[in-house]
Chain A
Amino acid sequence: MTCAEFEAVLPEMLEGEVKQEQQEHLRFCSSCFDLLSDLSLIAREARSLQSDVEPGPRVWSSVEIALRQEGLIHDPQPQMQKARRPLLWRPAWALSFGAVFLVAIAGLLYERGTGSPEVAGLGIIKPAASNATVPDDYSPDDIEVLQDVGSRTPAMLADYKANLRKVNSYVRDAEQWVRSNPSDEVAQQSLINAYEQRAVVYQMALDRSQP
């Protein structure tokens, strides 16, 4: 057994596994014998250390300095990255984006040509904002009522849509009238009347919806 072969199995020997040929080498090689003795002492001492005994920061700094001097550790070198082209300049991505763009344009043109999309078969319906000025808008409550009518008595849907459009126009005009003339009793009466008209349409629609 040579000294190199002895050093290769040294960890196993420190764990207590010593073979006969390793003992024969220790009998005739004093340097390997000293090395094994020192390492065995360190291992014993390390086991006897208490767990709360942490090496101080100076110890770790000294260890780091020694390792750097030996060349075993060094600072990470900034890696040179290949210059990458912007995503869109890559042929495959450019083709993909171009295709998506064309499809979007085609979709917009198609919708403009055929009108606004259907909503549950009710035709062109836009939910109204709180102060809608477009005459054909329906409120969410209107849409709900119309959907009920459409599902129960589809033949009546067009009538109810037309009537709701009329009463909504009435409500808007009456509200504007009251805003402009808050103390005008006729304006107030008109607004009450407009609300009642809408309530009648709702009630009749819901009555129609009953099975």
Chain B
Amino acid sequence: MQSSKRLVLLAAASILVLAALANAQIRSQYRFKVGRKPTISVSNEYGPVTVTPLAGKDVLVTAVVYSDKVEVDRNHSGRRVSLISHLLPGATDETGRVDYTIQVPAGAMISIHSAGGPLHIEKLNGDVTLEGTTAVMDVRDLNGAHIHVRSLDGPITLTNISDGNVEVTSVRGDVTMNAVNASRVQVSSTSGHIVYDGDFGDAGEYVLMSHTGDIEAIAPAYASFDVTARSERGQVDTDFPLQPKHTSFVVHAGSAFAGTMNKAASSVKLLSFSGKIHLKKR
């Protein structure tokens, strides 16, 4: 009886070991001493990249490699750290996957290139540059940062972004902004929808532009802005009782509106070729 139980346990343990070996995941950790404002660049075709702050002057990287078809090339020089997922011949989106979890000083400058992502950045105040093909990108709780995001198809979400500059270019991916108040916010899309939910801050410049994507801006009644909205072929409307202002073009009801709200603190332009534009009151 005892021997049969031992045999069962031994068999179960063997199965677990074999399963672990079959997955061939390798988890590695690296630490780089870089100083307060380092530059971190990551090039990872497949797999998530998560960047969060770490107290101190080190960069801590945890990389999970899913197969021997991909290698992590690490370069460290002074305050610059580079991580490249080097795909070997025959690598696929599954076998070429690497999961990165990176902790950096809050003032670090981050640059990430990815195809599939997803990408998640939070609680930093250094410049952030993200580029993805289909990657889902989530940027939140950044203060005083210059944020540059480029995407073809992946949806982009910016949440609680204050000060700094925001520049987003998306072809087909939707762009969603929640509580984004920056000195300058420029969002450009071809067919992706643009949604802004915030109060436009104070003395900011907001330009939301699309080809066919709809533009929806949701602001509270106390928001202070000078708005120009126009769609060459789409429907345009507003919930706000705007004070009319002079424009360089003829304002046709239903295709354009222009006016000010409260003290017109920020400048807002909502422009589209054929997308619908709606300025909503929250």
Whether the pair A200, B150 counts as a contact (CB closer than 8 A) is yes
Contacts of B273 in A (CB 8 A): 170, 173-174, 177, 190
Contacts of B133 in A (CB 8 A): 156, 159, 204, 208
- Chain B interface extent, by class: 20 to 34
Q: Which of B148-183 contact A (CB under 8 A)?
A: 150, 152-153, 169, 171-172
Tell me whether A194 and B152 are in contact in the complex, defined as CB-CB below 8 angstroms, given that A156-B133, A177-B273 are known contacts: no
Bound Cα distance from A204 to B271, whole angstroms: 25
B62 within 8 Å of A by Cβ? Answer: no
Interface centre among A167, A169, A170, A194 (most CB of B within 10 A): A170
Whether the pair B150, A186 counts as a contact (CB closer than 8 A) is no
Whether the pair A163, B211 counts as a contact (CB closer than 8 A) is no
Partner of A189, one of B191, B211, B212, B271: B271
Partner of B232, one of A159, A177, A204, A207: A177
Contacts of A153 in B (CB 8 A): 115
Tell me whether A167 and B190 are in contact in the complex, defined as CB-CB below 8 angstroms, given that A173-B211, A200-B171, A207-B131 are known contacts: yes
Contacts of A162 in B (CB 8 A): 153, 172
Tell me whether A204 and B172 are in contact in the complex, defined as CB-CB below 8 angstroms, given that A174-B273, A177-B232, A189-B209 are known contacts: no
The interface residues of chain B, by DSSP majority, are classed as: loop
Partner of B115, one of A167, A186, A208: A208
Whether the pair A190, B271 counts as a contact (CB closer than 8 A) is yes
- Chain A interface extent, by class: 20 to 34
Tell me whether A166 and B113 are in contact in the complex, defined as CB-CB below 8 angstroms, given that A174-B273, A190-B273, A207-B131 are known contacts: no
Contacts of B153 in A (CB 8 A): 159, 162-163
Whether the pair A190, B131 counts as a contact (CB closer than 8 A) is no
B83 CB to nearest A CB, Å: 16
Question: Which B residues lie at the A interface, using CB under 8 A?
Answer: 93, 113, 115, 131, 133-134, 150, 152-153, 169, 171-172, 188, 190-191, 209, 211-212, 230, 232, 248-249, 271, 273-274
In the assembled complex, 8 residue pairs joining A and B whose CB atoms fall closer than 8 Å, in A order, are A155-B93, A156-B115, A159-B152, A166-B190, A173-B273, A173-B274, A197-B169, A197-B171
A-B pairs with the 3 shortest C-beta distances? Answer: A170-B211, A163-B171, A166-B190
